[in-house]
Amino acid sequence: MQRWQIGHVSITRVVDVMQNIDLAFLIPEATPENLAPFASWLKPHFLNSDTTVPLSIHTFVIQSDDTTIVVDTCIGNDKPRAMPDWNQRQSSFLSDLTTVGAAREAVDVVLCTHLHVDHVGWNTMLVEGAWVPTFPNAKYLIGREEWHFWEHEEDPFGAEAKSDSIVPIIESDLVELIETDHVITEQVRVVPTPGHTPGHISVLIESNGERAIITGDLFHHPVQFAKPGWQDIADVQSDVAERTRRDFIQAYGDETLILGTHFAPPTAGKIVATGGEYWFKAQDSDP
């Protein structure tokens, strides 16, 4: 279990799916040859010896004072999906959440950084043939701009998610449509990081002089700190995403702890500048 302490706020990673992929499937320029120059810092955590990369689909549970926040809800169980690793899953995700103190009835806030299929799955669960909200006592924070984009668009990576994981929440009385600078608690707020999707947000945690940020899918893989201009086929607006990645590196390339939404363990680290180039220094979670 990975857990980080940022001042008075704790953040825990709860994994739904781990898979190894050919990164060039997502980022065409990230071929084994092009990744090789970065192997010294990508290996062993972010680059496998067979040249695939590990990709993690996980939730971050944030405990901020009395508020329990779940950031991104992964793939989910029982969902029909085109991707074999994501189809009709039967995972222990909910009991794993309970183990870290976030039983589904105890979650106060559910936040999706954006509405792609791998960020909304556990929004709902199957009960007697119907998709119902998994977190019955939570407020579900959905970006207003994000929803208004997907309302009329189809996600090319998982169109099925709209009907079973998004619309049931939009139509529930648990939803709150938020702006891209929404403040959740005194220590936790969202910041706009557009481009991967038009209403994409990251989550900034600041407490007692310490700072962390959850990337969302602005970064799929740490090599993007070195190569923010490599096009990611999942980015809806490539040029905007590249600009946002470059701005992000400037804004958080200091002592901010970066928590990657798809980064394999150790998942967290710092952006380091050496000779005008950036790389990612992985950092173990707190004991």
Please give the residue ranges that form the binding site for Zn ion (CB under 5 A): 118, 217
Phi/psi at 200 (5° precision): -60, 140
Return the structure tokens found at 64: 């901020």
Contact by Cβ (8 Å): 240, 194:
yes
Residue 137 half-sphere exposure toward CB, CA atoms < 13 A: 10
* Amino acid in the structure at residue 260: G
Closest approach, Cβ 75 to Zn ion, in A, equals 10
The Cα 184–Cα 203 span in angstroms is: 10
Closest approach, Cβ 155 to Zn ion, in A, equals 11
Closest approach, Cβ 110 to Zn ion, in A, equals 16
Q: Which is nearer to Zn ion, 121 or 168 (CB)?
A: 121
| 3 state SS of 53 | strand
Q: Which is nearer to Zn ion, 121 or 133 (CB)?
A: 121
* Amino acid in the structure at residue 74: C
Q: Which is nearer to Zn ion, 9 or 213 (CB)?
A: 213
Contact by Cβ (8 Å): 197, 162:
no
Closest approach, Cβ 28 to Zn ion, in A, equals 17
Contact by Cβ (8 Å): 202, 190:
yes
Q: Which is nearer to Zn ion, 155 or 164 (CB)?
A: 155
Closest approach, Cβ 116 to Zn ion, in A, equals 5
The Cα 200–Cα 106 span in angstroms is: 26
